[in-house]
Structure formats: C-alpha cells, structure tokens
Amino acid sequence: MITVALPKGALLKESIRLFQQIGLDFSAFNDPKNRALQIIDPTNTARALLVRALDVPVYVEYGQAQMGIVGYDVLREKTPKVADLADLQFGYCRLSVAVKSDSHYERSLDLPAHARVASKFVQCARDHFHSLDLPVEIVPLYGSVELGPITGMSEAIVDLVSTGRTLKENGLVEIDLLFESTAHLIAHPLSYRLNQGNLAKYCQGIRETIALQQTELTATQ
C-alpha cells in the first residue's frame, strides 16, 4: 500500500479530483464533518494523509509518504530531497515583491539598502535580493503579510499573488515577479526507483491524465 500526502487548503479539491481520475478515491477529505487526518482508499491500495502544504515535502522526503502534491513555491522555499515528477497545471499563483501603491518604488532595485521586507517565504526572498546584490532585512511573518507596509514595519513584502485582489484592497501593488507557481507531483526518490507499491504506475497515470487534459484544452482554443 502506498501513502500519499495531500495538502490542506487551495490545492486539495483539485488534488483529490486528479487521484480519482487514476482510480484512487480520497474524496472523504471533502466532507467538512470528517476530522480524520488519514483515510484509506476504498480499493484498499492507498492511504492518504491530510497535512499542511509546507509539510507535504517533509513527509515525502522522510518516506512517510511515497508521493504527494505540493506547490512549486514550497519546493523553492524548502528545497527538499524529493523527486519532482510533473507540473500538474493547476493552482496557479506567483511569488512577487509588492509595495504600497503610493510609494515611489517601481522595481526591487529601487528599494533602499537595508530596507525591511516582510515574507513567509524567507529563503526565496533572501535569494531574490541576494541575486540583485541588494542587502535587505527579511522580516519573517506568517499571517497577514500585507500589514507589513501598511503599518510601516516594512517597505515591501514578498508574497504569493493569485488574482491580485488582496493587494489592491490593501493599497499594495506588485513591482517584481520572482517566479510563477503551480501544483507539482513529487515522490520519495528511492520508493520511486524501487517502484514501491506500484508507485510508478500511479505517477505515470497522473502524467498521462495531465497530458491528455492539456491536449484537450489546446484543441478547444
């Protein structure tokens, strides 16, 4: 029996739907009355763990799950030792630098040296400004990061943006894009190599499903 790590939050429903398409049903997690953090597929061939998105690659890296679904943003922030097998083409967002809309900053390099930048993506933010050779102070925040510039705690933020509505409603504007992010399929490298629990078959099924969906989407455009 293989174990799959599924992320709580925005990626969960699409992740469950994708596994249903390859014959694994974890839809019990969609029931708001269900408090279980572990369920077994009705075919009794796979188990799913419901974990925080940031913890998905941890469970996979340490072998407690053989495969999982996680945002590319998490992979960039955590750099876990996992096999990144496929871009699943859903859960699109982007990691951006944002500032107050009434500021004079138009790009990251406009920020003053040693400016404060609030972010929950500490490593990604640090790497971005290091690549620009611009020394800044990264302020770790794990709640409403938008409050950083609003309260004057920071000159800028580095945060995920989807529609941009939250930024706009809080008087913020994007000035730089670090990278785009979608959901990715990951696996424990050794488990994948040894094909533990027929893991390769499930991974291949997911890749074929995504490829078919992209073909059908292209055909309708």
Asked if residue 99 and residue 177 are part of one domain, the reply reads: yes
Number of domains in the chain: 2
CA distance linking residue 107 with residue 99, whole number of Å: 9
CA distance linking residue 184 with residue 88, whole number of Å: 5
Distance linking the first and last C-alpha atoms of the chain: 40
pLDDT at 204 over 80: yes
Asked if residue 84 and residue 24 are part of one domain, the reply reads: yes
Asked if residue 42 and residue 109 are part of one domain, the reply reads: no
Asked if residue 17 and residue 58 are part of one domain, the reply reads: yes
pLDDT tens for residues 46-62? 999 999 999 999 999 99
With tokens 């996979």, the residue in question is: 60
Name the residue range of residue 81's domain. Answer: 2-91+182-220
Q: What is the pTM of this model?
A: 0.93
pLDDT at 215 over 90: no
Q: How confident is the model at residue 218 (pLDDT cuts 50, 70, 90)?
A: confident
Predicted confidence at residue 220, as pLDDT, reads: 79
